[in-house]
């Protein structure tokens, strides 16, 4: 889930930041070369930013109720038309993700003549 990925990213960021600080301290003690500290800090920041950007894009897609990439609305409509007795046509379909793993859909279903809407 997005929450778990965010928590893991946070922990990894802390781990990488600590490892970079220790590494920079050891290099500075051994060589006296102080520019290593900001260099490692920028590298860790760029790594965290690249992974956080992907997570933010997915979260924004869910918050903006975007269509999940794994779903094909036309295929869903054809499946409903082919398997639900009495449904002639499906149109005006909206599909979105509630939380990144659970999906929701609304649609208009046109029924064949004489079909009771409660039985279709």
Q: What is the pLDDT of residues 97-115, one digit of tens each?
A: 988 889 999 999 999 988 8
Cβ atoms 76, 91 nearer than 8 A: no
d(CA 120, CA 112): 10
Cβ atoms 81, 88 nearer than 8 A: yes
Residue 120 is predicted with a pLDDT of: 75
Q: What residue ranges do the domains of the chain occupy?
A: 2-63, 73-111
> pTM to 2 decimals?
0.67
Question: Where do we find the tokens 């979105």?
Answer: 96
Mean pLDDT, the chain, integer:
93
Residue 101 is predicted with a pLDDT of: 84
Q: Is the pLDDT of residue 119 over 90?
A: no
């Amino acid at each position: 889930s997005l929450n778990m990925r965010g928590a893991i990213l946070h922990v990894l960021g802390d781990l990488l930041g600590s490892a970079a600080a220790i590494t920079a301290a050891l290099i500075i003690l051994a060589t006296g070369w102080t520019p290593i500290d900001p260099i490692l800090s920028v590298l860790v920041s760029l790594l965290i930013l690249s992974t956080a950007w992907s997570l933010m894009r997915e979260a924004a897609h869910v918050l903006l109720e975007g269509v999940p990439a794994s779903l094909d609305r036309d295929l869903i409509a054809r499946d409903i038309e082919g398997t639900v007795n009495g449904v002639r046509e499906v149109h005006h379909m909206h599909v979105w993700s509630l939380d990144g793993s659970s999906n929701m859909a609304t649609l208009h279903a046109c029924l064949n003549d004489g079909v009771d809407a409660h039985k279709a």
